[in-house]
Amino acid sequence: MTTSVRARSRPVIALVALALAATGPTAASAALDGSAPLLCAIATIMECDSTGQCQRHTAAQHPDFPAFLRVNVGERVITDGQTIGRKTEIKSAARLDGRLILHGGENGRGWSAAIAEDSGRMSADVVADNFTFALFGACTTP
């Protein structure tokens, strides 16, 4: 993995990581449908380059990733909840087969996320032309 790939992807990855975090199932599945704000925690991050080489990280190990993300579908925004105030716009949100599906993109990168409405389990990705990040975690209502 090259440092330049990581440096170019920090803002988008940090925001997506924020949007997809929380490390356990929740009791109220109805609240995980996007009708209320979500707090998400990132458990695992897989960073892969265009050669197919991948590295595993945790949010705690990687200084560029927030441990938590705040997802507000009503306001169509994901924030890191920190004083830095990083945010990204949710361009598309839908409920499909028991999952909340989110999409967005900026700075030449796209991202998507799926959050299971019954358990809060979350997976997301950030993609560009020469790298990708896969994020895994869970969401709950704050």
Kindly state the average pLDDT of the residues 110-128: 95
Average pLDDT for 48-77? 87
Q: What pLDDT, on the 0 to 100 scale, is given for residue 65?
A: 72
pLDDT tens by residue, 39-61: 999 899 999 999 999 999 887 77
Look at residue 25 in the predicted model and tell me its pLDDT.
Answer: 41
Instruction: Report the pLDDT value the prediction gives residue 61, as an integer from 0 to 100.
Output: 76
Closest CA to 101 of 25, 31, 34, 8: 34
| Closest residue by Cα to residue 136 from 21, 33, 14 | 21
Q: What is the mean pLDDT of residues 122-142?
A: 93
Which residue would you say has higher pLDDT here, 120 or 64?
120
> Phi and psi of 65, rounded to 5°?
-110, 130
pLDDT of 58 reads 84
pLDDT at 63: 67
Q: What is the pLDDT of residue 83?
A: 57
| Ranges of each domain in the chain | 3-140
Residue type (1 letter), 100 = L
**pLDDT exceeds cutoff 80 at 75:** yes
Whole-structure pTM over 0.75, yes or no? Answer: yes
Q: What percent of the chain has pLDDT over 90?
A: 61
Residue 76's CB is within 10 A of a number of other CB atoms, namely 14
Check: CB of residue 113 under 8 Å from CB of residue 124.
yes
**What's the mean per-residue pLDDT of the chain?**
81
